[in-house]
């Protein structure tokens, strides 16, 4: 482009290129350029647009659609926040611990548990596997149904482990061991 040619803009509505000196407006939301013929302003609105302290906003069609969807998006965000709070509140109920019967039976470690209990085989989503200092292994599931399937599978495949021990007891023993 030569130095004395006016700069070119592309209209966000009709996608045609136009020169700045031919007249355009900027969307007050996305700051995209809109050619003056695509705006359909009344003569009084046209007179207001150059004013610095104008109250009239020019919003392009894409931004109007986005603004129209805002209440739906806010509603969805609130629903997600509620679901997250429920998950945080109920995480202890969805946790099950298998603990060795005696401290001599420490041959089954985290890797062996992972090998013996295949989540795909029992259709379980395991969120977390944690091994404590006392060789306790904690498996965390997504739902109570998955938790029950995991309990049954663990009790049958992991001989030498006992089930149904409350997570609070396990955490208490872990805290004592760590102090």
Q: Do residues 29 and 8 make contact, with C-beta atoms less than 8 angstroms apart?
A: no
Euclidean distance between CA atoms 159 and 93, whole angstroms: 24
Report DSSP letters for 16-65, one per residue: -EEEGGG-EEE-TTT--EEEHHHH---HHHHHHTT-TT-------HHHHH
82, part of any domain? no
- Which of 45, 63, 81 terminates a domain? The answer is 63
Range of the domain at 130: 91-178
- pLDDT score for 98: 58
Alpha-helical regions (H) of the chain: 36-39, 43-48, 61-90, 110-116, 144-157, 167-178
Q: Which residue has the tokens 């603004």?
A: 67
Last residue of a domain, one of 63, 83, 99: 63
Q: For residue 171, is it within any domain?
A: yes
Q: Are residues 104 and 33 in the same domain?
A: no
* Residue 57 sits in the same domain as residue 95: no
Q: Is residue 21 part of a domain?
A: yes
Contact 161, 108 (CB under 8 A): yes
- Give pLDDT, residue 83: 92
Is the domain of 106 the same as that of 160? Answer: yes
Residue 130 counted as domain residue:
yes
* pLDDT values of the chain reduced to their tens digit, one per residue, 179 residues: 445 555 777 887 888 787 766 677 888 888 888 877 778 777 777 777 777 777 778 888 888 888 888 899 999 999 999 999 988 887 777 666 655 554 434 455 666 666 777 777 777 777 666 666 665 667 677 777 877 777 777 777 766 544 444 445 555 555 555 45
Q: What pLDDT score does 37 carry?
A: 76
Domain of 164, CATH number, reads: 3.30.70
Count of structural domains within the chain:
2
Do residues 58 and 96 share a domain?
no
The pLDDT of residue 80 is: 95
The reply to whether 31 falls in a domain is yes
72 lies in a domain? Answer: no
Q: What is the pLDDT of residue 7?
A: 72
- For residue 3, being part of any structural domain is answered with no
Does 114 share its domain with 174?
A: yes
Query: Which CATH number fits the domain that encloses residue 51?
Result: 3.30.40.10
Query: Are 120 and 158 part of one and the same domain?
Result: yes
């Amino acid at each position: 482009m030569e130095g004395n040619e006016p700069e070119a803009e592309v209209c966000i509505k009709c996608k045609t290129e136009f020169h700045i000196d031919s007249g355009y407006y900027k969307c007050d939301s996305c700051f995209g350029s809109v050619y003056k013929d695509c705006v359909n302003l009344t003569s009084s609105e046209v007179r207001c647009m150059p004013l610095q302290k104008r109250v009239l906003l020019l919003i392009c069609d894409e931004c109007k659609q986005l603004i129209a969807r805002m209440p739906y998006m806010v509603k969805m965000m609130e629903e997600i926040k509620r679901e997250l709070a429920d998950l945080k509140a109920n995480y202890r109920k969805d946790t099950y611990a298998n603990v060795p019967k005696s401290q001599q039976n420490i041959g089954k470690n985290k890797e062996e548990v992972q090998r013996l209990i295949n989540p795909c085989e029992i259709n379980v989503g395991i969120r977390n596997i944690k091994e404590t200092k006392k060789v306790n292994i904690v498996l965390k599931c997504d739902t109570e149904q998955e938790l029950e399937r995991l309990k049954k599978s663990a009790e049958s495949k992991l001989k030498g482990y006992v089930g149904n021990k409350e997570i609070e007891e396990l955490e208490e023993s872990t805290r004592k061991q760590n102090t």
